[in-house]
Structure 1
Amino acid sequence: MWIFRVDEPRLGVIRIREWRRRARHTISLLVLLMGGTTIGLVVLDQSGSPFADKMFAAVWNGVNLVTTLGAFSEFNPQQKSFMVLAMFATLVIGGFAVSRLTGMLSGDDVMAYRENRTMERKFGELAGHVVVVGFHALGERVAHQLHEAGGTVLVLVGDQDQANRAADSGHMVVLGSPDAFDDVLKRARLDSARAIVVTTPDGNNNLAITLLAHTLNPSLAIAVPGDNPLRKGLLESAGASNVVIADDIVATALVGKLTTAVKVAT
């Protein structure tokens, strides 16, 4: 799956713009070559054919020269000498195009730019998705279960390795600097999301992300783990609609198992 990089590599944009400029330059040279070839062949045509026929034949040969098809009509000696020069000019322009254009669009920065453009189109269609912040062990489990249940998952991370793992797992990913995570949240289409699950291992980060997400969409369902009752209260005040204390769940599960075992023993 694709990765959207909030800190888009500027070099990718520069490379594509430069490639387009060089491509336009090359096409202009080929058009000039075709036009010059057409005029030269018409001037050197000594046959008694009507001018329209001479022009058509010259245009035909000019197009064949530029496209390298080689389906030329018959030439007189003067035209053959002229075509030798035109062919040499074609080789020079072709060599220029190969040396200036080849490889410019295959760099990592260009690929990242293309990924961003593709992801921007996908963002325009996002609705009813679940945003998962973080892709550590917990975030990976949450994203996997949501995906298995048929939901659309968008993973937000601040680490390249996590982004790669999430993308390899088939999730859409937004990658951005941890210092500017509000920009990442703004790209997550929280206005049309069904819910957000905050799973980073840092309680302070979870609190800040919860507050930002609630600010961007006050009606959004926000699920986040809490370390203790005090932290749970802070998260709920920040806008969390579901705060889960892991120790409570583990304790309930252990007591449940113990109760079941006692009942079986008796």
Structure 2
Amino acid sequence: MYRIAEPRLGGLRIQEWHRRARFAIGLLILVLLGSSVGLVLLDRSDAPLTTKMFTALWDAVNLVTTLGDFSDFNTDQKVFMLVAMLATVVVAGYALRQLAGMLSGDDVMVFWENRAMEHKLETLNNHIVVCPFSPVGQLVAARLLDAGATVLVLDSDAKRAEKASGLGYMVILGDQTSFDDVLERARLDTARALFVTGADPNSNLEITLVAHTLNPALKIVVSGENELRRLLLLRAGASTVIDENDIVASAMVRESDARQAQHRP
């Protein structure tokens, strides 16, 4: 699910984690360099300086990475290594304490989910958009999915959006104040059709108008409750306006006629 109003805290947490990670790595590098320099200065052997530097670096890397493969030390070097080991433990403990758990919060999960959905939306093509996931929208989406269509659900209600996501639909969630952004994210420029299935006629009219503005060639199917509303929706860019009341009335009349025909001699 893609959330238009993504919590900024997730991105801020990741930025802070990166900052702390860089700081922790910097401390470990300082321990590595300090250990190397100290071991070279305390090396009393007659080995060439380059050999001393390489041996010191080898021992320092083993210290930081805890591999444990050290060369022989004199007494001064052993004392120094004890101090360096203590510093390594302190730095490693600090790093674990600062970094552990920062990337496991819900806000971080939302951030990564949005990033993954962005990639999917960028490549979305020939899909059908259902807006919103109302009772009618759920039926429409299910039948479209059964027919093999790629369905994208748009909604401003978090519970309905979560339900749609749980059923396997791609979902964009945004509140009423940001619904223009929702429609822009829905890739209406590459969509095959838009089904407007809300119960609010004013919201349906607004969605139809914005969608038609974004893609004048888009097929828009929307419900209208009377003749005036049908004309308004058609002028707003609807391709087909379905009168739900007329459909119900026709179905009831057909059912009545069928029952009368069954009882005729």
Q: TM-score, normalised by structure 2?
A: 0.94
User: Following the alignment from structure 1 to structure 2, what is the Cα–Cα distance between the partners of residues 137 and 206?
Assistant: 15
Alignment of 1:20-59 (within 5 A): 20-59=18-57
Match for residue 63 of structure 1?
61
Q: CA deviation at 1:55?
A: 2.3
User: Following the alignment from structure 1 to structure 2, what is the Cα–Cα distance between the partners of residues 120 and 72?
Assistant: 49
**Candidates 247, 250, 265, aligned match of 1:249:** 247
Q: CA deviation at 1:265?
A: 4.4
SS at the partner of 1:179? helix
User: Following the alignment from structure 1 to structure 2, what is the Cα–Cα distance between the partners of residues 125 and 83?
Assistant: 56
User: Following the alignment from structure 2 to structure 1, what is the Cα–Cα distance between the partners of residues 142 and 37?
Assistant: 67
Match for residue 170 of structure 1?
168
User: Following the alignment from structure 1 to structure 2, what is the Cα–Cα distance between the partners of residues 7 and 222?
Assistant: 26
User: Following the alignment from structure 1 to structure 2, what is the Cα–Cα distance between the partners of residues 153 and 226?
Assistant: 22
Match for residue 148 of structure 2?
150
Q: Is the 8 A contact 2:4 2:178 kept in 1?
A: no
Alignment of 1:178-257 (within 5 A): 178-257=176-255
Match for residue 7 of structure 1?
5
Calculate the aligned-residue CA RMSD, in Å: 1.6
C-alpha distance after superposition, 1:211-246 (max 9, x if no partner): 010011100010111112221111111111011111
User: Following the alignment from structure 2 to structure 1, what is the Cα–Cα distance between the partners of residues 101 and 119?
Assistant: 26
Aligned length: 264
Q: CA deviation at 1:85?
A: 0.6
Give the partner amino acid of 1:214. Answer: H
C-alpha distance after superposition, 1:17-39 (max 9, x if no partner): 11111111111111111111111
SS at the partner of 2:154? strand
| Residue 117, structure 1, aligned to residue 115, structure 2 | yes
User: Following the alignment from structure 2 to structure 1, what is the Cα–Cα distance between the partners of residues 69 and 250?
Assistant: 83
Match for residue 19 of structure 1?
17
Give the partner amino acid of 1:152. Answer: T
SS at the partner of 2:130? strand
Q: CA deviation at 1:256?
A: 3.1
Alignment of 1:88-167 (within 5 A): 88-167=86-165
Give the partner amino acid of 1:192. Answer: T
SS at the partner of 1:17? helix
Q: Is the 8 A contact 2:194 2:220 kept in 1?
A: yes
Please, which runs of 5 or more residues in structure 1 have no aligned partner?
Answer: none
**Candidates 48, 73, 76, aligned match of 1:75:** 73
Give the partner amino acid of 2:41. Answer: V
Q: State, as a whole percentage, how many aligned pairs show the same letter.
A: 54
Give the partner amino acid of 2:48. Answer: P
Q: CA deviation at 1:56?
A: 2.3
SS at the partner of 2:73? coil
Give the partner amino acid of 1:198. Answer: V
Q: TM-score, normalised by structure 1?
A: 0.93
Please, which runs of 5 or more residues in structure 2 have no aligned partner?
Answer: none
User: Following the alignment from structure 2 to structure 1, what is the Cα–Cα distance between the partners of residues 147 and 76?
Assistant: 76
Q: CA deviation at 1:262?
A: 4.2
